[in-house]
């Protein structure tokens, strides 16, 4: 049986092809999906997605969303997804530092919510790059 993965963002299809295995960061922890997985629906946290193609692992930064698994079809709907190869390491590191500084300076409930979200996004992007090496 082959497992098909489809990663969709609001403006494009990021990934639509066959994979051997994926590891998905959900809100309740990471789950690994192999062919013939039981049909489940899960929310996807801001975190990394690891994809196995034969013996090669690929990493992708996902910016929160939803996934549906069933019938050997995985559909991942996310706000934004970036392949680790497409992320500029320097830029990502800088964004992380800016986000950390913003959180320290944040005042009030609203700014804290925004700063926290930004920090988690930035951290995920850096993690996605470092996962390869």
Per-residue mark of binding to other proteins, 5-24 (x: CB under 8 A): ---xxxxxx-----------
Q: Which residues make beta-bridge pairs with 70?
A: 73
Q: Is 109 in the site for other proteins (CB under 8 A)?
A: yes
Separation CA 125–CA 127 (nearest Å): 5
Q: Which segment (49-57, 83-91, 105-113, 122-130) binds other proteins by CB under 8 A?
A: 105-113
Q: Which residues make beta-bridge pairs with 32?
A: 23
The correct pick among 34, 35, 53, 79 for binding other proteins (CB under 8 A) is: 79
For residue 29, what are its two tokens?
A: 């922890």
Separation CA 119–CA 122 (nearest Å): 5
Q: Is 44 in the site for other proteins (CB under 8 A)?
A: yes
């Amino acid at each position: 049986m082959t497992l098909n993965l489809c990663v969709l963002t609001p403006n494009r299809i990021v990934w639509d092809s066959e994979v051997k295995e994926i590891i998905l960061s959900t809100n309740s922890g990471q789950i690994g999906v192999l062919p013939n997985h039981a049909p489940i629906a899960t929310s996807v946290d801001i975190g990394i997605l690891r994809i196995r193609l034969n013996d090669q692992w690929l990493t992708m930064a996902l910016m929160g969303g939803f996934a549906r698994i069933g019938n050997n079809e995985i559909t991942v709907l996310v706000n934004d997804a970036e392949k680790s190869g497409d992320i500029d390491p320097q830029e990502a590191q800088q964004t992380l530092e800016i986000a950390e500084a913003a959180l320290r300076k944040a005042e009030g409930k609203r700014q804290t919510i925004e700063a926290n979200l930004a920090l988690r996004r930035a951290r995920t992007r850096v993690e996605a790059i470092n996962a390869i090496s």
